Amino acid sequence: MEILRVFVILFHLIGFAAALFLVMREDLRLLRAEWLDFAEIEATARDVSRALMVLFVTGVLVIYIDTGFSAAEIFARPKLLAKITVVLILTLNGVLLHWLVFPMLRQRPRRFLRARARLVVALGAVSSVSWVYAAFLGIAKPLTDPLGYAGFITAYAVLLAGAVTVAVVFIAPHAELLLFGMRQAGRRVTTQTI
């Protein structure tokens, strides 16, 4: 069973590395963008979804190998509970991005532009922090006893609050320009033409 666990974790790490790379690349691209490329955003979203599926399958397998899905065993592992919490928040955030933000980006918003920009960057901040925090949890075994579940989740909540605040205050104005300068009459409109 230990050999199987090693290979499952290897595929888990590959899926995680791919997803983290894609998310960070897209975040950096959007920070520097002068216009939104929907095809690029949707392609990245599809690739991240595939990587997330690999992570779900391999993560569930590791949990099964380590705990046999025993509730008592799972609840006795604060770091595992923190990972599960972060993955659930990351998944919910992904659902909101796919069902709410991406369709919204396809429209040419005129109303509530500032609120839409804030929503986009806030969900982006939650995504980025969650992916990086999941990586941190993967190596945080020495901190399990001192922090416990409450400590891990408190640190995560503080990071989320900080990232969302920075995104809304400093990045939302750029996102607002991107949203305002979206495609018009089938052509790309850059923020420089506004």
Q: Indicate the pLDDT class of residue 108, thresholds 50, 70 and 90.
A: low
pLDDT digits (tens, 9 = 90+) for 165-180: 999 999 999 888 887 7
Whole-number pLDDT of residue 129: 97
| 107-126 average pLDDT score | 84
Q: How confident is the model at residue 190 (pLDDT cuts 50, 70, 90)?
A: very low
pLDDT at residue 42, rounded to an integer: 86
Residue 187's φ and ψ, nearest 5 degrees, are -125, 160
Percent residues over pLDDT 90 in the chain? 69
Cα separation of 174 and 157, whole Å? 25
Q: What's residue 110's pLDDT?
A: 65
User: What amino acid occupies position 122?
Assistant: A
CA distances from 39 to 43, 102, 118 (A): 6, 11, 22
Task: Tell me the average pLDDT across 155-161.
Answer: 98
Digit-coded pLDDT (tens) for 64-74: 999 999 999 99
